């Protein structure tokens, strides 16, 4: 891949998804786009790139963005945030919410492991939840990932990565060589396509998980996203980022708090 083509793809991905590809990642782009070229019927990577430059269909644009987007995820990723959610944050929110409605948004949900982790935790608290209404939105930019997440089907390696055995036994069913999350968990989560680069129109949220995605955005894009998160988060709500992410130096709307050494964010009063 020559430098001009790489710079074109960098700009294309940034325009479509606000993802920043660092210089020197030509090898990554080539390895991700080669399968797209093959399955789309192009004889070479050059032919694919020329098509993107001239007359790309929406389907082809999405395939290219999907191929570059990082989809690394696992159940109970980092563990501690979910322990704090179960032991501290959810009980606090349940004690404060007089309307018995809990609104949750898990952004950049990829293939669904994170929202399903939260859904299983909520199911464990069913006695506390009683007749509560749970509105649970999970979103991703990728149509492919949303379709996969809705199916709730995972291979043996995926359920071996981070998922405690008791959850596998309790909330999954064997489906050939794969495992499928039970319908009672799948129906708790509403998967939708949302591109974080663009303004969104969703209800006020008590919990927002936006973990391990902002690291791929520019500072300016992060500022815009944090501003919109601030307008979406309930005054008593909690905002979770990935371990290497922060609002510090980017947004003044949030205060960082630590619960059992787990960082999360609330709106400043």
The CATH number of the domain holding residue 25 is 1.10.155
Query: pTM value?
Result: 0.87
Residues 147 and 35 in one domain: no
Quick: pLDDT tens for 106-115. Answer: 999 989 999 9
Token pair belonging to 118: 């939260």
Q: Is 57 annotated as a binding residue?
A: no
Q: How do residues 125-169 score in pLDDT, each as one tens digit?
A: 877 777 888 999 999 998 889 999 999 999 999 998 888 999 999
Backbone dihedral angles phi then psi of residue 44, each to the nearest 5 degrees: -155, 165
In a domain, 73, yes or no: no
Quote the mean pLDDT of the chain.
90
Q: Is residue 77 annotated as involved in ligand binding?
A: yes
Show Cβ contacts of residue 251 under 8 Å, excluding neighbours closer than 6 positions: 222, 223, 226, 227, 230
Instruction: Give residue-wise pLDDT tens across range 51-74.
Output: 888 888 888 888 888 888 766 788
Residues 222 and 106 in one domain: yes
**SS3 (DSSP) at 72:** coil
On the question of pLDDT at 197 being above 80, the answer is yes
- Whether residues 150 and 89 share a domain: the answer is yes
Q: 45 vs 1, 31, 189, CA distance in Å?
A: 8, 10, 38
Tokens of 213: 């995605």
Tally of structural domains, the chain: 2
Residue 75 lies in a domain: no
Q: Are residues 100 and 201 in the same domain?
A: yes
Among candidates 200, 183, 87, which has minimal Cα distance to 141?
Answer: 200
Same domain, 130 and 43: no
Q: Establish whether 214 is an annotated binding residue.
A: no
Q: 239 and 110: one domain? A: yes
Is the pLDDT score of 85 beyond 90?
A: yes
Whether residue 114 is annotated as binding a ligand: the answer is yes
Report the pLDDT value the prediction gives residue 267, as an integer from 0 to 100.
Answer: 96
Mean pLDDT to the nearest integer, 90-103:
87
Give the mean model confidence (pLDDT) for residues 240-266: 89
**What's the token pair of residue 222?**
């992060």
> Residue 9: which domain range?
3-68
- How far is residue 240's CA from residue 181's CA, in Å, rounded to a whole number? 24
Q: pLDDT tens digits for 9-25?
A: 999 999 988 888 888 88
- Does residue 46 sit in the same domain as residue 146? no
Residue 4 is labelled as binding a ligand = no
Instruction: Looking at the structure, tell me whether residues 131 and 27 fall in a common domain.
Output: no
Residue 244 CA: distances (Å) to CA of 131, 199, 215, 266: 37, 24, 8, 17
The verdict on 64 and 85 lying in the same domain is no
73 annotated to a ligand binding site: yes
Does a structural domain hold residue 74? no
pLDDT at 250 over 90: yes
Could you give the angle at the alpha carbon of 35 between the alpha carbons of 31 and 36, nearest 5°? 110
Q: Which of 11, 43, 68 is the last residue of a domain?
A: 68
186 marked as binding residue: no
The answer on 94 and 8 residing in a single domain is no
Q: What is the rounded distance in angstroms from the CA atom of residue 112 to the CA atom of residue 150? A: 8
Q: Where are the alpha helices (DSSP H) in 18-87?
A: 26-39, 45-54, 58-68, 80-84
* pLDDT, position 71: 66
Residue 178 resides in a domain: yes
């Amino acid at each position: 891949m020559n430098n001009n083509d790489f710079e074109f793809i960098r700009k294309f991905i940034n325009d479509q998804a606000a993802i920043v590809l660092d210089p020197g990642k030509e090898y990554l782009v080539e390895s991700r786009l080669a399968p797209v070229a093959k399955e789309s019927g192009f004889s070479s990577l050059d032919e694919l790139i020329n098509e993107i430059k001239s007359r790309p269909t929406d389907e082809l644009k999405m395939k290219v963005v999907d191929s570059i987007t990082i989809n690394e995820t696992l159940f109970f990723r980092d563990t501690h945030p979910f322990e704090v959610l179960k032991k501290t944050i959810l009980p606090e929110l349940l004690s404060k919410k007089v309307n018995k409605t809990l609104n949750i948004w898990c952004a950049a949900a990829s293939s669904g492991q994170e929202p399903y982790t939260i859904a299983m935790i909520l199911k464990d608290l069913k006695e506390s939840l009683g007749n509560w209404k749970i509105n649970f939105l999970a979103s991703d930019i990728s149509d492919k990932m949303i379709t996969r997440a809705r199916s709730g089907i995972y291979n043996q390696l995926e359920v071996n990565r981070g998922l405690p055995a008791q959850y596998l036994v309790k909330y999954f069913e064997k489906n050939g060589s794969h495992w499928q999350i039970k319908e009672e968990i799948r129906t708790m989560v509403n998967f939708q396509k949302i591109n974080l680069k663009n303004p969104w129109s969703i209800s006020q949220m008590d919990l927002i998980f936006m973990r391990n995605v902002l690291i791929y955005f520019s500072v300016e894009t992060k500022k815009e996203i944090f501003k919109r998160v601030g307008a979406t988060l309930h005054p008593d709500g909690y905002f979770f980022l990935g371990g290497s992410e922060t609002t510090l130096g980017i947004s003044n709307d949030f205060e960082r708090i630590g619960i059992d050494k787990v960082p999360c964010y609330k709106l400043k009063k």
